Structure 1
């Protein structure tokens, strides 16, 4: 299997991140989320498929978003987004807060063999509350979010207990000498292993922990029918590791922060 830009763009567009406890606002042309309080941002656009001029569709989305009250809307411009979208967001005062990189790896012949870590890493799926708490604590620290409430952690563990053995994925946590040191998620959907939330606790970075979690997720995806692995990565952190692990970059996906208190100039 040879991955093409259109393959990866389609897989990326189909990947809509919707936490179970988010409020979903859906329209035929767009979907955005009002996220729970423990997330580091309030409103996030997850799909945009306009059927009219881009400026009019952006106006409609922002009008809906303003009704929720937060001052800023986060909007990730996906690979294959409508032409002129970035110019429209900039015209409304949007500033790029981060540029993510969409990367993919071919799993058609199985997962690549990665170099082992420099430390002895134990990997556990977060199918119980203690492991889920460990993983979500590392994730919150790594991405500057807050720890979810107890009921959310319990829900993550319960969901993982069902989805991991069923081949649909879950949250993986890495330990060294019993100490939680890294985490990362994977979900297998329509033959694509979607990788999320890969992060290593700061004192343990540079020792191969991220690579160990990555390799386990790729092996899991390949074992459960995935022929592509997909990740939207920070090119300054996980990007170099992914490139060395068989991933190819298919382009940037900038995330804009757009003020909602001001109308377009």
Structure 2
């Protein structure tokens, strides 16, 4: 299956498995379908938001109002995850008019896990470590805050929740240089689907451009393939998209977070 046909196939599969039939991504979260909207609701530190919608010009405004009521009643901020192929065409403008703020668009890409799982060279003195305990989570948070300049405390709580619920899981991988964590990336295995998700991929300044991103992609792809997932998917920032396309990832669509406090 080549080119555009592959992209269409993967996007249809992604929509069916990870959006319309989404499962909760952490303890204390639940996913439900409300009319033409699929949403996740959980604790304040969890990801709360709309995963899928099947709206048109007649139904969009009422659906937006219903989601605002739902999350306001629970006192949590939330995200409407809008994909480039979602309707109606002016849904983004309608969200902004309702008080949402758009963040930078990203590109949804996917690739076969086995094709990405080859060996990747690491610089001398660097090793990869799988995160399995609270200290590893602390190091992931530290790396993300240094790499992205953002508060990652909620991410840390989500990773700790996952480890507590399933002590055998590996939610993230660290690249460690002479004992110091310098890069971190997260892994989401979606049971019962063809996909695993690659998230994060933050590297501290001074270690960028040295192959750590590629090595973390390869390691997580190996884990995904070992768990029976055929594909890995990424929501890529503009800086990551060219790297992933050179590795063979196929662009499927765009995705833009619309946030409501």
* Secondary structure class of the residue paired with 2:104: strand
Aligned to 2:196: 193
For the pair 1:136 / 2:141, whether they are aligned, the reply is yes
Please give the residue correspondences for 1:71-150 in structure 2 after superposition, counting only pairs within 5 Å: 73-84=78-89, 85-107=91-113, 110-111=115-116, 113=118, 116-143=121-148, 144-148=150-154
> How many residues are aligned here?
248
Give 1:66 deviation, angstroms.
Answer: 3.5
Aligned to 1:172: 173
Give 1:157 deviation, angstroms.
Answer: 4.0
Aligned to 2:206: 203
- 1:196-237 CA-partner distances (Å, limit 9, x unpaired): 1221123322222111111111122223322211111112x3
Query: Is there any run of 5+ residues in structure 2 with no aligned partner, and where?
Result: none
Give 1:119 deviation, angstroms.
Answer: 4.3
Q: CA RMSD in A?
A: 3.3
TM-score normalised by L of structure 1: 0.76
TM-score normalised by L of structure 2: 0.77
Which deviates the most, 3-12 or 21-30? 21-30
> CA separation in 2, counterparts of 1:77 and 1:147?
25
Distance 1:74 1:155, change over 3 A: closer
Aligned to 1:234: 237
For the pair 1:245 / 2:247, whether they are aligned, the reply is yes
Give 1:45 deviation, angstroms.
Answer: 2.8
Give 1:112 deviation, angstroms.
Answer: 5.4
Give 1:141 deviation, angstroms.
Answer: 4.1
Distance 1:217 1:210, change over 3 A: same
